[in-house]
Amino acid sequence: APLADMLLKHYPWCAGWEAQLKQLFAGYVTAKQEQGVLDYDDLLLCWAQMVSDPVLGADIASKWDHVLVDEYQDTNRLQADILLGMKPDGRGLTVVGDDAQSIYAFRAATVRNILDFPRHFDPPARVVTLDRNYRSTKPILDAANAVIGEAAERFTKDLWTERASEEEPRLVTIWDDTAQANYIADRVLEEREAGTPMKQQAVLFRASHHSGTLEVELTRRNIPFVKFGGLKFLDSAHVKDVLAVLRFAQNPRDRIAGFRVLQLLPGVGPGSAQRVLDTMGESAHPFEALKDVKVPQRSGEAWAGFVGTLTALGSHQVGWPGEIAAVRYWYEPHLERLHEDASTRLADLVQLEQIAGGYPSREKFLTELTLDPPDATSDQAGVPLLDEDYLILSTIHSAKGQEWKNVFVMNVVDGCIPSDLATGEQDDIEEERRLLYVAMTRAKDSLDIMVPQRFYVHGQHSR
């Protein structure tokens, strides 16, 4: 779709900046080319272009007799084009997914990929329905089936189970956000006294900020909790720092990595970092140029150690995976200077070293880690020790694929679920329906759906 149409539909407050956005994007493309880097979209675009070529595409497709794609409901249109380009007749192609759990439109995923998949082929692809559920009780499944049964379009299926139960899901109407937090805290403690550990109980919400009042109440009552839906392992500042050093050593033209690494040094700010990168960019031997750079006085000893480490990495003197240990050794003093919880963060870096040991080279490690990052670890909010009991708080998106004995779904009201940002078109409403379905089907034995009569959503217009 034209940029103007996309802006009007999704970002109307930016519609007046169309010309500037085009100019910015052109500059971004030029910068990537100069630095010899690709972003995620580039990888897909290049792949799609290759499989669309009659000769090259046929050669690529011939390398695999069978292709299986899991979670197909979460793919975007470009990924579907790649798949159909590799297997245009569908022979040897299998996709697995659940159209009722397509909840990533904000990442450009489209439910149409899985709904339209059978019709791409002649004869149509065979549809195998897996409708037995081993997780939830029958009353919970009946409620979830009723929600998704109102969908405008779907593959017809009703989940069934042999897990009978007398306990029905509860639709809990309470006065406001405070009453909601009190109810959940009371119920969690009641269930714990009845023998259900808090680890087997979860509170789910549409957006991360919806749990603020509950977090305050849990803290007041000294109820430990872990919150998911925040930072992931590779989003942690300390992990990003170490990976940036490795990326800069791998490609000294990578200004993004270099800009981050240089500012780890005392006395080096954005301006100084830009000047160093400019000097490196003008040299045929970027790392050699570092030795003659004029740096702030505060950088003194730290600068010499930095240049020595980077030079050793650039010339592969240490060897892989010893290089990541060398980076950690160099980084530790800066970690202690920059972060109060240095010991916790250091444990993440040790884990990163262990992960690195499974890769044959630095280049392979950086590539694979970028494309397939590990799950969240100690950078989640308030993580207790593993042998402690704690309540799970999670966005619905982060809860996908998980299950708990007891589940509380917060703020199932207009403005939260469905989100006030997702009520403009029917497709948006349908995705919100699927989101609620995903939340409900996380519950094994007990489900509470919370409906506050009054709530505050930042920036929402009154309805």
pLDDT digits (tens, 9 = 90+) for 108-154: 889 999 999 999 999 999 999 999 999 999 999 999 999 999 888 88
- pLDDT tens string 168-196: 999 999 999 889 999 999 999 999 999 99
The reply to whether 151 and 213 lie within a common domain is yes
Q: Are 49 and 34 in contact (CB under 8 A)?
A: no
Q: How far is the C-alpha of 408 from the C-alpha of 170, rounded, in Å?
A: 9
Instruction: Please tell me whether residues 62 and 87 are part of one structural domain.
Output: yes
Taking the CB of residue 230, how many other CB atoms lie within 10 A of it?
Answer: 15
Residue 5 included in any domain: no
* Final residue in a domain of this structure, among 120, 150, 177: 120
Q: Are residues 417 and 303 in the same domain?
A: no
Of 137 and 381, the one with more pLDDT = 137
Cβ proximity of 223 and 187 under 8 Å: no
| pLDDT at position 202 | 96
Instruction: With respect to residue 180, please indicate whether it lies within any of the assigned structural domains.
Output: yes
Position 381 scores a pLDDT of: 34
Q: What are 313-343's pLDDT values in tens digits?
A: 988 888 898 999 999 999 999 999 988 778 8
Question: Is the residue at 194 inside a domain?
Answer: yes
Say if residue 173 is in the same domain as residue 105.
no
Is 189 found in the same domain as 304? no
User: 345 in a domain, yes or no?
Assistant: yes
One domain for residues 142 and 215: yes
Please write the tens of the pLDDT for every residue from 270-314. 888 998 899 888 888 888 888 878 877 787 778 888 988 998 898
Categorize the per-residue pLDDT at 374 as very low, low, confident or very high, splitting at 50, 70 and 90: low
Find how far residue 197's CA is from the centre of its chain.
28
Residue 385 counted as domain residue: yes
What is the model's pLDDT at position 233? 65
Q: Assess whether 58 and 164 both reside in one domain.
A: no
pLDDT tens across 10-56, in order?
A: 788 888 999 999 999 999 999 999 998 899 999 999 999 999 999 99
Taking the alpha carbons at both ends of the chain, their separation in whole angstroms is 31
* 19 domain residue, yes or no: no
> In which domain, by residue range, is 58 found?
36-120
Which amino acid belongs to residue 320?
A: W
Q: Per the structure block, which two tokens stand in for 381? A: 């909010």
Please give the model's pTM, rounded to 2 decimal places. 0.67
Q: Are residues 238 and 194 in the same domain?
A: no
- The domain boundary, picked from 371, 398, 430, lies at 371
Report the C-alpha gap between 454 and 438 in whole angstroms.
24
